[in-house]
Amino acid sequence: MRTPGSFWRIGLALVLVSTLALVASCAPQAAPGAAPAAAPAEEKATEAVTEAEEKAPTYGGTLTVALHGEIDKLDPHQSVTIVGFQVQQNIVESLVTANVTLDGVDPELATDWTISDDGLTYTFKLRQGVKFHNGKEFKAEDVIYSFNRIMDPDFPAADRSDLEMVESVEAPDDYTVVFKLKYPFAAFLTNLESLWILPKDAGVDFNQQLIGTGPFKFVEWVSGDHITLERFDDYWEEGKPYLDKVVFRPIPESATKLVELKTGGLNFIGNVPYKDVAELESDPNFKVYRVLGVVRDHLGFNVTKPPFDNKLVRQAMGYLIDREAIAQSVMEGYAKPAQIAIPESHWAFNPAIKDAYTFDPEKARQLLTEAGYPDGFKATIKVSPTYPLEIKMAELIAEAAKEVGVDFEIQQLEWSTWIQQVVTEGDFEAEIVLISGGIDPDDFFYQWHHSGEIFNIWRFSTPELDALLEKGRKLRDKEERKKVYYEIQEYLIDQAPMVHIVYRESIMASTANVNGFVMTGREDMTFKTVWLDQGE
Amino acid sequence: MPTFIIRRLIHLVPVLVGVSLAVFLLLKLTPGDPATAILGVQASPQEVARIRRSLGLDRPWWVQYGIWLSNVVRGDLGTSYQSKRPVSTLILQRLPATVELAILSLLIAVSIGVPAGIISATRRYTALDYAFTSFALFGISMPGFWFGILLILIFSLYLRWLPASGYAPLSAGLGPHLKHLILPSIALGLFNTGALMRFTRSSMLEALSQDYVRTARAKGLAERIVILRHVLKNALIPTLTVLGLQIGYLLGGAVIIEQVFAWPGIGWLALTAINQRDYPVVMGVVLMVSFVFVFSNLLVDIAYTWVNPRIRFDQEGK
C-alpha cells in the first residue's frame, strides 16, 4: 500500500524542488486555446508495451534519468521520498508488484499464493533460482528477515503500518512463506506491494550498499551528483534487463531538466511541466508518456469547527468549484474533473456519483441560506507553495465564493509547517492539497476517513462510516466489496468532509531512442523493460 | 602581524559559536519535525517519540546544543538524520564543487569588474562609462537564478556550446570539467562583477579628487603612473573590503545557483537538509560556511597591509 507513503513521498519530493524553480516552471500561463486531447491513459501504456514487442529489443547503453531532488536514504525500508522509491524499485523487489492499471497485483518474487477461506492465512510459493546481487540465493529466510525488519518496533521503518494486521510470518520450507493475520484484511496483497525483500546476513549497511534481487545493481551514490546502477547479469527474468547502466541525476530546476533532455544530457524525465508537453509531443525527437492516474486534488474542511461543521455548508462548497474551468486553465487541460478519490477507471468506482457536484453557485447560495449563512462567512484556506497549482485552484474557488458572500483568505505555509498545522494539529478551516496512490479501494478510503487515523485530516468520523470501512476491508468477495464501496462513496459525497477538484495526469518524457517504458498512473520509474535504439 | 593573526583567529571562536547558536535556535523555532521527516507522516506517535528520543530531540534545546558543540570540538559533526552518512563526509564530498565555483566567479568578477571600474572612472561621462555603468546596474539587478536559466537557454539549448547542468570531476578531463564550470560561475559572478565595478569606480573617483593626485600630476608624472601607482592603490582598499564581504554572498548565492545548475555543492546540500529538517547537516554546513567567510575576511585584512603599508595591525589600539 503506497497511499500514506506516497502522500509524504510526493510531498517531500516536491519540497526539494526550489520555490524559485516552481516559479519558473509554473508561472501563470495563458490557457491554451484548445485543450490537448485527453490522452487515453491505458492506450498510451499499451502502446509502449506493443512497441517493445514489435521491434526486437537490443542490449546495451546507458539511460540517464532526472530525479527532481536528492534521495533521502538508500535503505528502501526507511526511505520516504518518491525519488528514493524511483531509484530503489530498480534494485529491489517485493513478493508482488502493482499491475499497470493499478487496481491489483502481479506476481514478482512470489509465483502464486493461496488464501484460506477465513481470510486469515496467506501462503506464498516463492520463485526459485533467484539470486541477490551479492550472489546469495533468494529463499524464504530472506522474506522472514525482511518482514521482521519492517515489523521490528526498534527499527525506523517507513511502511510498518502496512503490516499491522500480521500475526506471524513463517517458512515451512525454503520456498514457501505463510502469513497469519490477526483479522481478515482484503487489501493485504496490495499492502505487500513495495515491501521490499532484502537479503538476510548480507553484513552491510543497506543505507551505504543496497542489495536486492532487482534487474539493476547499486554501484554508487555521489551526493548531489548522481546514483549509478548497473545491469545485474544473473537477473531471474530471462533476457532482462536490456540496459547496461542507469544513471539517476538529481535536477530540481525543471527548465534545466528540459534543456538537458533536448541536448542529450538526459534520456528520461518525470514531472514534465504542462507548458512543455505540447511542444515535446509534436517533436519526433521525443516521446511523451501520459496517464490519468491516481493523483487527485481536493478542497477539505475541518468538520469540527464552524462553519464547516455544517454539512450543508460543505456541500455548498462542492457547488462552488468549477472543475472543468480548473482542469482547463490551472491544469492546462492535463486533468479531469473529480468527484471522489477513486479514479473512474477503477473497478470499485461508483458511476452513480459521476456528476454529483456541478458548478452551480445558485444551488450553493440556497444551501448556505438553509444552513443559516445567507450572507456568507469568512474562512481561511491553507495551501503550500510546494504545490503552486493548488494556490491557483484556491484563488479560482475564492473568486467564485465571493459571489455567494463567502470570503476566503488564502494562507500559504511552507510544506513541513502545513503538514504540522493541518495534518498533525488540525489547526485549519479549509485546505487544498493533492493526494496520490492507492490500489485497493481500502487504500482510497480507510486511512483517510476512519476514526483515529492520522490521515483523517478533516477529523470527520461517524459510526456508520467506520462500520462501512471496516466491512469493506474484511470482505473477500469482489462483488460484495464493490457494493460496500459504492455505499461509502455515496456517503462521502453526501457528507462532503472534502470535495474533490480534479484528477491529474502523470506526465513523463524521454528521447525518441528510448523504448519499452511502461507508464503507470503513479510515479513509477522502472527500467527493467526499457531498451535503447542502437547506433547512438 | 603574527599577534594580529592569532588574535583574529581567537576571535573566530565566539563568532562561530554565536552563528551556530543562532542557527540552532532558528531551526528549533521552525515548525516541522525531523522525526516526521524521517519516518513519513503516517508514523504512529509512539514511533515518532522513539525516534525523537534516539536522536536526543526530546531533551531541552540547550542540552542538545551543548552535546552538538562538544562533539564538534572533538571533531565530530554528527550523522545525517536522512542519509545516515557522516556530515563531515557529505561536506567534504560537496565543498570542493562550491569552492571551485566561488573562486572562478570571484575571478570573473575581479577580472571584469575592477578594470571596468577603473576605465569608467578615468573616462567619466563617456559612452564607455555609460556602457559599463549600465552593465553594472544590470548585474546588480538581475536575479542570479533567472540569469542562470537564460544562460542555459542560450549556451546550452540554442548554441549547444556548454552543458546545461551537473559537475564533471577532474578525472573526466580538464575540458569537460571547465565546460561544466563556466555557466554557473558566470551566473554566480554576475552580481559581484556589477558590484565590484561600481565600487571600484566610485572609490577611484574619490581618490582622483585627492590632493596627492593633484601633486602627482603637478610634478609631471605620466597619467598612467598616476592612476596605477597612486590612485588605484588607494582606491583598492574599499574594493578589497567589498570583495571580502562578497565571499559571503557567493556562498549564499550558491544555494540558488547550485539548484538551477544541479551543481553538487554545499548550498544545495544545505537547502535539501533544511527542507528535510536534517539538523546535523544544516549545522555542519553553516559552521563550514561561517568559517570560510570569517577566514577569508581575515585574509582580506592581511591584504590591506600589502596594498597600503600605512595600515599596521600590530599597532592597533596603541
Place of cell 527474468: A237
Residue of B nearest to A23 (CA): B146
DSSP A465-508: HHHHHHHHHH---HHHHHHHHHHHHHHHHHH-SEEEEEEEEEEE
Q: Rounded to whole angstroms, how far apart are CA atoms A81 and A74?
A: 10
Closest Cα of chain B to A420: distance in Å?
6
- Cβ-defined contact of B50 to A18 (cutoff 8 Å): no
For each of chain A's 536 residues, which pLDDT tens digit applies?
333 333 343 333 333 322 222 222 333 333 333 333 333 344 444 444 444 456 789 999 999 999 988 998 999 999 888 899 999 999 999 999 998 888 889 999 999 999 999 999 999 999 999 999 999 999 999 999 999 999 998 888 877 888 989 999 999 999 999 999 999 999 999 999 989 999 999 999 999 999 999 999 999 999 889 999 999 999 999 999 999 999 999 999 989 999 999 999 999 999 899 989 999 999 999 999 999 888 899 999 999 999 999 999 999 999 999 999 999 999 999 999 999 999 998 999 999 999 999 999 999 999 999 999 999 999 999 999 888 899 999 999 999 999 999 999 999 998 888 888 998 889 999 999 988 888 899 999 998 999 988 889 999 999 999 999 999 998 988 999 999 999 999 999 999 999 999 999 999 999 999 999 999 888 899 999 999 997 64
Chain A partners within 8 Å of B269 (Cβ): 223-224
Contact A85, A194 (CB under 8 A): yes
Closest Cα of chain A to B266: distance in Å?
9
Chain B partners within 8 Å of A21 (Cβ): 259-260
What is the model's pLDDT at position A402?
Answer: 94
Residue of B nearest to A264 (CA): B163
Grid cell locating A25: 516552471
Q: Rounded to whole angstroms, how far apart are CA atoms B97 and B109?
A: 18
- A241 preceded by a cis bond (ω within 30 of 0): yes
User: Comparing C-alpha atoms, which of A489, A520, A92 is closest to residue A293?
Assistant: A520
Q: Rounded to whole angstroms, how far apart are CA atoms A100 and A106?
A: 9
What is the model's pLDDT at position A85?
Answer: 93
Q: Identify from A10, A18, A195, A218 which residue to disrupt to test chain B contact, counting B C-beta atoms within 10 A and taking the largest count.
A: A18
Chain A partners within 8 Å of B264 (Cβ): 222-225
- Cβ-defined contact of B163 to A263 (cutoff 8 Å): yes
Closest Cα of chain B to A505: distance in Å?
24
∠ CA B37-B40-B44, nearest 5°, is 115
Chain A partners within 8 Å of B94 (Cβ): 223-224
Count the residues in chain A. 536
Q: Tell me if chain A has a CB within 8 Å of the CB of B37.
A: yes
Cβ pairs A/B, distance under 8 A? 168
Closest Cα of chain B to A96: distance in Å?
22
Chain B partners within 8 Å of A77 (Cβ): none
**Residue B170 backbone phi and psi in degrees, to 5:** -60, -30
Chain A partners within 8 Å of B260 (Cβ): 20-21, 253, 255-256
- Cβ-defined contact of A259 to B152 (cutoff 8 Å): yes
Q: Hey, which residues 242-261 in chain B have their CB within 8 Å of chain A? A: 256, 259-261
What is the model's pLDDT at position A10?
Answer: 39
Residue of A nearest to B50 (CA): A154
Q: Rounded to whole angstroms, how far apart are CA atoms B244 and B233?
A: 17
Strand-pairing partners, residue A408, are: A379
Residue of B nearest to A16 (CA): B272
Chain B partners within 8 Å of A249 (Cβ): 165-166, 262
Contact A51, A531 (CB under 8 A): no
What is the model's pLDDT at position A3?
Answer: 36
Residue of A nearest to B161 (CA): A263
Q: Tell me if chain A has a CB within 8 Å of the CB of B279.
A: no
How far from chain centre, in Å, is Cα B315? Answer: 30
Q: Tell me if chain A has a CB within 8 Å of the CB of B180.
A: no
Q: Tell me if chain A has a CB within 8 Å of the CB of B159.
A: no
Q: Rounded to whole angstroms, how far apart are CA atoms A159 and A168?
A: 17
Using CB atoms within 10 Å of the CB of residue A230, give its burial: 0 to 12 exposed, 13 to 18 middle, 19+ buried: middle
In sequence order, which residues have a C-beta less than 8 Å from that of residue A160 and are 6 or more positions away? A150, A151, B43, B47
Indicate the pairing of strand A62-67 with strand A245-250. parallel
Q: Identify from A6, A88, A223 which residue to disrupt to test chain B contact, counting B C-beta atoms within 10 A and taking the largest count.
A: A223
User: Comparing C-alpha atoms, which of B257, B277, B227, B219 is closest to residue B41?
Assistant: B277
Q: Rounded to whole angstroms, how far apart are CA atoms A332 and A207?
A: 40
Contact A105, A190 (CB under 8 A): yes
Residue of A nearest to B38 (CA): A80
Q: What is the DSSP letter of B152?
A: I
Q: Rounded to whole angstroms, how far apart are CA atoms A144 and A200?
A: 9
What is the model's pLDDT at position A490?
Answer: 97
Contact B266, B288 (CB under 8 A): yes
Residue type, B59: R
Q: Rounded to whole angstroms, how far apart are CA atoms B317 and B277?
A: 45
Contact A536, A517 (CB under 8 A): no
Q: Rounded to whole angstroms, how far apart are CA atoms A523 and A518?
A: 11
Strand-pairing partners, residue A431, are: A300, A382
Residue of A nearest to B48 (CA): A156
User: Comparing C-alpha atoms, which of A54, A185, A70, A529 is closest to residue B281?
Assistant: A70
- Sign, CA torsion A188/A191/A196/A198: negative
The H or E element containing residue B46 is helix B45-54
What is the model's pLDDT at position A189?
Answer: 93
Q: Rounded to whole angstroms, how far apart are CA atoms B291 and B301?
A: 15
Q: Rounded to whole angstroms, how far apart are CA atoms A254 and A267?
A: 14
pLDDT tens digit sequence for A161-194: 889 899 999 999 999 999 999 999 999 999 999 8
Q: A452 — alpha (psi -120 to 50), left (phi > 0) or beta?
A: left
Chain A partners within 8 Å of B256 (Cβ): 18, 20
Residue of B nearest to A222 (CA): B93
Strand, helix or coil for residue A381: strand
Q: Tell me if chain A has a CB within 8 Å of the CB of B121.
A: no
Q: Rounded to whole angstroms, how far apart are CA atoms A237 and A331?
A: 39
What is the model's pLDDT at position B295?
Answer: 84
Q: Tell me if chain A has a CB within 8 Å of the CB of B145.
A: yes
Chain A partners within 8 Å of B31 (Cβ): 414, 416-417, 420-421
pLDDT tens digit sequence for A355-407: 999 999 999 999 999 999 999 999 999 999 888 899 999 999 999 999 999 99
Strand, helix or coil for residue A299: strand
Q: Tell me if chain A has a CB within 8 Å of the CB of B64.
A: no
For each of chain B's 318 residues, which pLDDT tens digit applies?
678 888 888 888 898 999 999 999 998 888 778 888 887 776 777 778 888 888 888 889 999 999 999 999 998 999 999 888 899 999 999 988 998 999 999 999 999 999 999 999 988 899 999 999 999 999 889 888 899 999 999 999 999 999 999 999 888 899 999 999 999 999 999 988 999 999 999 988 988 888 888 888 888 888 888 888 788 888 888 888 888 888 877 887 788 899 999 999 999 999 889 888 899 999 999 998 888 888 888 888 888 777 777 776 655 444
